[in-house]
Every structure is written in structure tokens, then in C-alpha cells.
């Protein structure tokens, strides 16, 4: 039986979308494979550029697909009836392919872009109810049975792990590696089975081999971190705790470059190592940002439906002067809506805020800036809001919300992982934990500076403490590049009246920053401020900031390792 013209169009459209996604995937892999060369050349900036180029691929692929569909569907491009058929045929074609969820997300982006969908349109996009059966494909792993107290076995293991860069590898000290592993795992039995993912993971000038160790019947995580020095590749660190690896795969770093045959099996493997980490974050950190957004969206709404008694609330902490921040008590994300009007003390504009979030998207986040996902046209049920909160949202954010008969439509917002505001943490945590947070607060400011970021407003209320206990920055209103600032000494004066004035008696430019004044505005108790000064006193010295600026300007890579000294194999010589 011959096909009707519409059937021919539908099949052609389905094949067009499938090819568009597969072309995107191939380009994604092409860029990702540059990572090995970037690593060996110690081209950290080039790796960041590749991540940004890869990120931009998705929208480019969607735009190209729309142009091709316009040629196929002509005047039926915006026909919902034909898109219902396209969706059904597309599902039949892709339901058994590997990474079927990624195919579905690509389709949804096309559909929503064309029809400017608000909320969810289940007739022409895929929903949580359409999720394909979990793939039976296993990730590619290398499996070895070893005795970790045998130097030959350890030498063999390091040879396997360094195979991708074998011609450039520095020989390792098996005894140092054994001491590290035996301490980390408190080994009673050195006979182990190790499974290592075949793909290498690259990010920010480093390379990682990710795997797990079966020790006495239990699978434990292990990640080997490699650096490149003038002498060659060397094993810098071995991460053996869930906390260390959770930080490495966290939402405060840039995305990994890992050339994966199939994404979903690797996410499953990582989920076993990091059971508390949401799949949304794992997809995102692997560079599959749209899939991460889909997973987060579907997970949030599944939670909302399962807990109708929960209502949105303003997030804990001091109210932002630029953003209204909402959260659901039982779900660990926040929704940040730009207010219609900013507090008088804020000189930034709406355009400035959008630009600064865009800067964070493409900058090296060095584990100190929370990854924010941009969402549009979200429909939340009215039952999720109290009357007072609904009134607040409508009054303060009218430009980005619209009230419907049974829903609140949010035209634009940023969604981030919720963290504990540092000022509240310091007021409630046991003193030892509070002191650790104060020290890491100072380290966070330093790490950002070394990545060419000045946080701007250094008040603790703009920082947060993650579940892993790390201090991160999340208020981007006044964030700027370090090279945009002018760090100055506070002038001396013999005039007592001037010296006691709350306002400067000299000209202050828009980009002037006075580090010596930081302690006056941090709001830390005297003992905690003294601790911060003793550990990170450079922060209050303009000379340190100027020296850091100079190093950044010269292109010197000011390294910020994504792990602590406990993970390092100290006896191995090398360095970057």
C-alpha cells in the first residue's frame, strides 16, 4: 500500500530529527577527543574553550534541524496534528537505541522551541511517563584481579591506567602507591578486583581514571588523578572516599571531557559509586547539560506530585536585593527570579545580572561557583504557593511571572542546588565546624581570585556550605573579572575627623576595591576574624591582589586542585 503524502512527510521528519541528534552527538565527541591533546600540551584554557564550544553545539544543532524540518514540512511545520504523529513514530524508532533518553530530550527541545510551549504538552513532547526502559548496556570497563602489596601488580596497574599517554609517563613508585591505598582502605586483605572505566575523564588541566575496588566483597570508589609536568604525566592523587569523589563530580566545577560510547551506562556506574548524587547532576557534569535539565525538571515535578502537602517558600537566609529565591522544603534546589526593582544600594541592571550568569556558565568555576541552569516557561501549580507567597512573587517579580487559572507561569528563572547560607551555618554549627568553614571561606575567595574572579560582595550571606562541607559562592550580582578591578591601599590621614568618617574623604572610582577594609564588612566574630587573618591574611593586602592580577594577566595558570592534600601521593615527584 502506498503511503500518503503526510505519512511520507512524517517519516522524513523523524529521520531528519534522528540524523540531527546523531550529527550533534558526533560533533560532541569530536570536540571531546581534543581533551587528550589539551592535557598533554598543558593547555588548560584550550580545554575550557572546548567545553564552551561543545556547550554551544546543542542550540546550533536545534537551529539546523528546524531549518531542515521547514523544508520537509513546509506549511505543516507548526501543525500540532502532524507533530503528534511525528512524536509517535520517533518514539517507535528510538525506544530501543542506546541513550534513548537523550534522543527524547533533543526532540523535546525542538518541539518546545517551535511551539513555544509553556509547561508541558504531552501530545507533542516526551514526559516522565515516556521514559524508556533502563538500558541493559554495560559501560566499557577494564577489570583486573590484583594483589596490591605486590610491586609488580601495582606497576602493572599503573601501566594500564596510563596507557592513553604511555609515551609521556613518569615511572611511579609502587611503594608510595601501596602506602596510600593501604591507609585509605585500611586493608586487611590486599587481594582486590578493580574495575576502571575505559574512558578517560579530563577537566581543567588534569586527567582522571574512574573506577571501583572490590575489597572483601564490597565495592568501594577509586579515582586516579593525573597531572602533566615538564617531565611528563604523573599520578598526582588517588581519591578513595565518596566525599572526595562527590566533590570531583560536583555542581561547582566545569564539565568533564570524556568520550563515552554510551552515556546512560556510565551515569549508572557513577550512581553506584555516588548513590546520593542525583542523576541530573551526573548528566550535567558529563557535559550533557540539556539532559541534566530534563532529569532535574522531571525529578522535581515527580516529587511535587508525590508531596502535594508541601508548598514553596522563600529560601532561608537574608533576602536578596536582586533575586527572589524560592525553594521546596523537601527538595534541594532553589529557583532564583530576578526582581522587578533592585534595592537602591545596587547599581547593577537586569542586563548586568544576565551577563554575569552567562559569565559563570563559561568560566572556570574551580569548585567554588554553583552551576546554574536557566529555565523558561515553567508552570507550577497554584497549590504549591501560599496566598502570601503568591502575592510576593506577583508583586516583586511581575516581569517574569504570569498567573493562570490553576498555575503560576515562570517565564524565566535560574535553578541551582540549594546550599546552607554561610552566615546561618556559622551561627548554628559547632565551633570546630564553624572554624573549618571560616578557613574554607578564605580559601574560596583565594581560589576564585586565582581563576580571575572577584566575588564583589564578600559578606558570608553570599556564600554557602555544601553537603560536603565546602564553601561556595552563589550570589553573582556583583561578581566580576579580577582584571576589571583596581585594588588600592586605603590612604592614611592625619585628620582625626576624616579618619573616623564612615565615608571616604578621597575620590573612589567605580572599579576601586580596598582589601584593607574587608574585615569591617565581613561580620565575623573577633576570634573567627583573627583566625581568618592568621591563615588568609593576604586577602586584606592590596599587594596580594595586585600580584595575583599580574600573574593572571601574564597567562600563568594559578592551579586550584579539586582535591585536598590527603588524596595526594606525596612521594611522587612532578608538579605543574
- For the segment 74-101, the average pLDDT, to the nearest whole number, is 95
pLDDT at 251 over 60: yes
CA distances from 308 to 327, 384, 386, 409 (A): 14, 7, 13, 18
Q: Does 178 map to a domain?
A: yes
Residues 411 and 465 both lie in one domain: no
Least confident of 14-18, 106-110, 483-487, 504-508: 504-508
Q: Does 194 map to a domain?
A: yes
Record the cell numbers describing residue 464, joined without a space. Answer: 554557602
- For the segment 487-507, the average pLDDT, to the nearest whole number, is 67
Would you give the distance in Å from CA 144 to the centre of its chain?
32
Query: Of 101, 130, 159, which one is at a domain's C-terminal end?
Result: 130
Q: Does 547 map to a domain?
A: no
Residues 85 and 202 both lie in one domain: no
Please state, in angstroms and rounded to a whole number, the distance separating the CA atoms of residues 228 and 170. 10
Residues 449 and 364 both lie in one domain: no
Residues 403 and 510 both lie in one domain: no
Record the cell numbers describing residue 390, joined without a space. Answer: 503568591
Give per-residue pLDDT as tens, 110-142.
999 999 998 889 999 999 888 887 666 789 999
CA distances from 376 to 80, 290, 335, 354 (A): 21, 13, 11, 14
Residues 122 and 150 both lie in one domain: no
Please state, in angstroms and rounded to a whole number, the distance separating the CA atoms of residues 113 and 466. 34
Q: Does 113 map to a domain?
A: yes
Give per-residue pLDDT as tens, 257-284.
999 999 999 999 999 999 999 999 999 9
Residues 374 and 434 both lie in one domain: no
Helix orientation angle between 5-32 and 100-115, rounded to the nearest 10 degrees: 120
pLDDT at 495 over 80: no
pLDDT at 508 over 70: yes
CATH of the domain at 503: 1.10.510
Please state, in angstroms and rounded to a whole number, the distance separating the CA atoms of residues 340 and 25. 39
Give per-residue pLDDT as tens, 332-354.
999 999 999 998 888 889 999 99
pLDDT at 575 over 60: no
Residues 486 and 535 both lie in one domain: yes
For residue 19, what are the domain limits?
5-130
Least confident of 255-259, 360-364, 378-382, 540-544: 360-364
Query: What angle (nearest 5°) sits at the alpha carbon of residue 361, between those of residues 101 and 294?
Result: 20
- pLDDT recorded at residue 38: 96
Residues 316 and 399 both lie in one domain: yes
Q: Does 136 map to a domain?
A: no
* Percent of the chain predicted with pLDDT > 90: 74
Please state, in angstroms and rounded to a whole number, the distance separating the CA atoms of residues 403 and 413. 15
Residues 406 and 436 both lie in one domain: no
Query: Of 98, 130, 162, which one is at a domain's C-terminal end?
Result: 130
Please state, in angstroms and rounded to a whole number, the distance separating the CA atoms of residues 539 and 305. 47
Query: Of 254, 288, 322, which one is at a domain's C-terminal end?
Result: 288
Q: Does 372 map to a domain?
A: yes
Q: Say which of 371, 423, 447, 475 is annotated catalytic.
A: 371
Residues 151 and 284 both lie in one domain: yes
Q: Does 569 map to a domain?
A: no
- pLDDT recorded at residue 503: 60
- pLDDT recorded at residue 189: 67
- For the segment 477-492, the average pLDDT, to the nearest whole number, is 90
Residues 412 and 454 both lie in one domain: no
Give per-residue pLDDT as tens, 285-326.
999 999 999 999 999 999 999 999 999 999 999 888 999 999
Question: To the nearest whole number, what is the mean pLDDT of the chain?
Answer: 91
Please state, in angstroms and rounded to a whole number, the distance separating the CA atoms of residues 113 and 100. 20
Please state, in angstroms and rounded to a whole number, the distance separating the CA atoms of residues 13 and 19. 10
Catalytic site includes residue 371: yes
* Total of domains in the chain: 4
Confidence label for 177 from pLDDT (cuts 50, 70 and 90): confident
Residues 378 and 427 both lie in one domain: no
Amino acid at each position: 500500500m502506498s503511503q500518503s503524502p503526510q505519512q511520507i512527510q512524517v517519516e522524513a521528519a523523524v529521520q531528519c530529527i534522528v540524523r540531527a541528534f546523531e550529527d550533534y552527538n558526533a560533533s560532541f565527541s569530536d570536540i571531546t577527543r581534543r581533551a587528550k591533546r589539551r592535557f598533554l600540551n598543558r593547555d588548560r584554557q584550550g580545554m575550557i574553550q572546548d567545553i564552551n564550544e561543545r556547550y554551544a553545539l546543542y542550540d546550533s544543532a536545534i537551529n539546523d534541524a528546524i531549518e531542515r524540518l521547514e523544508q520537509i514540512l513546509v506549511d505543516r511545520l507548526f501543525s500540532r496534528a502532524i507533530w503528534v504523529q511525528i512524536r509517535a513514530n520517533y518514539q517507535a524508532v528510538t525506544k530501543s537505541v542506546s541513550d534513548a533518553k537523550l534522543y527524547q530530550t533533543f526532540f523535546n527541545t525542538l518541539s518546545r522551541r517551535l511551539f513555544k510551549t509553556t509547561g508541558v504538552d504531552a501530545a507533542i513532547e516526551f514526559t516522565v511517563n515516556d521514559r524508556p526502559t533502563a538500558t541493559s548496556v554495560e559501560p566499557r570497563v577494564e577489570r583486573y584481579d590484583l594483589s596490591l602489596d605486590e610491586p609488580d601488580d601495582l606497576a602493572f596497574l599503573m601501566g594500564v591506567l596510563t596507557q592513553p599517554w604511555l609515551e609521556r609517563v613518569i615511572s611511579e613508585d609502587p611503594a608510595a602507591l601501596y602506602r596510600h591505598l593501604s591507609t585509605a582502605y585500611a586493608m586487611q586483605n590486599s587481594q582486590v578486583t578493580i574495575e576502571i572505566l575505559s574512558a578517560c575523564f579530563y577537566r581543567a588541566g588534569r586527567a582522571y581514571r574512574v573506577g571501583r575496588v572490590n575489597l572483601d566483597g564490597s565495592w568501594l570508589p577509586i579515582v586516579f588523578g593525573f597531572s602533566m609536568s615538564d617531565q611528563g604525566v604523573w599520578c598526582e592523587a588517588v581519591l578513595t572516599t565518596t566525599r572526595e569523589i562527590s566533590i570531583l563530580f560536583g555542581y561547582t566545577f566545569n564539565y568533564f571531557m570524556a568520550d563515552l560510547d554510551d552515556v546512560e551506562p556510565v551515569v549508572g556506574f557513577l550512581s553506584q559509586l555516588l548513590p546520593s548524587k542525583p542523576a541530573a547532576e551526573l548528566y550535567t557534569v558529563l557535559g550533557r547539560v540539556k539532559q541534566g535539565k530534563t532529569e532535574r525538571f522531571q525529578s522535581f515535578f515527580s516529587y511535587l506530585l508525590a508531596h502535594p502537602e508541601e508548598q514553596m517558600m522563600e529560601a532561608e537566609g537574608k533576602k536578596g536585593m536582586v533575586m527572589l529565591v524560592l525553594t521546596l522544603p523537601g527538595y534541594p534546589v532553589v529557583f532564583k527570579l530576578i526582581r522587578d526593582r533592585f534595592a537602591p544600594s545596587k547599581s547593577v541592571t537586569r542586563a548586568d545580572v544576565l551577563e554575569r550568569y552567562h559569565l559563570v556558565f563559561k568560566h572556570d568555576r574551580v569548585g567554588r561557583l554553583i552551576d546554574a541552569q536557566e529555565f523558561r516557561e515553567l508552570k507550577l501549580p497554584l497549590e504549591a504557593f501560599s496566598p502570601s507567597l503568591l502575592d510576593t512573587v506577583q508583586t516583586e517579580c511581575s516581569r517574569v511571572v504570569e498567573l493562570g487559572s490553576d498555575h503560576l507561569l515562570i517565564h524565566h528563572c535560574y535553578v541551582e542546588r540549594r546550599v546552607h547560607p554561610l552566615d546561618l551555618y556559622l551561627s548554628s554549627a559547632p565551633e570546630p565546624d564553624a572554624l573549618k568553614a571560616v578557613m574554607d571561606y578564605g580559601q574560596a575567595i583565594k581560589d576564585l581570585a586565582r581563576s580571575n574572579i572577584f566575588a564583589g560582595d564578600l559578606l558570608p550571606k553570599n556564600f554557602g556550605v555544601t553537603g560536603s562541607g565546602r564553601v561556595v559562592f552563589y550570589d553573582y550580582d556583583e561578581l566580576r573579572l579580577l582584571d576589571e578591578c583596581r585594588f588600592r591601599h586605603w590612604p592614611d590621614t592625619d585628620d582625626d575627623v576624616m579618619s573616623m568618617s564612615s565615608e571616604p574623604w578621597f575620590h573612589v572610582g567605580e572599579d576601586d576595591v580596598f582589601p584593607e577594609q574587608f574585615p569591617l564588612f565581613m561580620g565575623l566574630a573577633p576570634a573567627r576574624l583573627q583566625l581568618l587573618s592568621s591563615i588568609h591574611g593576604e586577602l586584606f593586602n592590596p599587594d596580594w591582589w595586585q600580584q595575583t592580577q599580574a600573574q593572571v594577566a601574564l597567562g600563568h595558570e594559578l592551579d586550584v586542585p579539586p582535591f585536598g592534600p590527603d588524596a595526594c601521593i606525596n612521594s611522587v615527584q612532578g608538579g605543574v
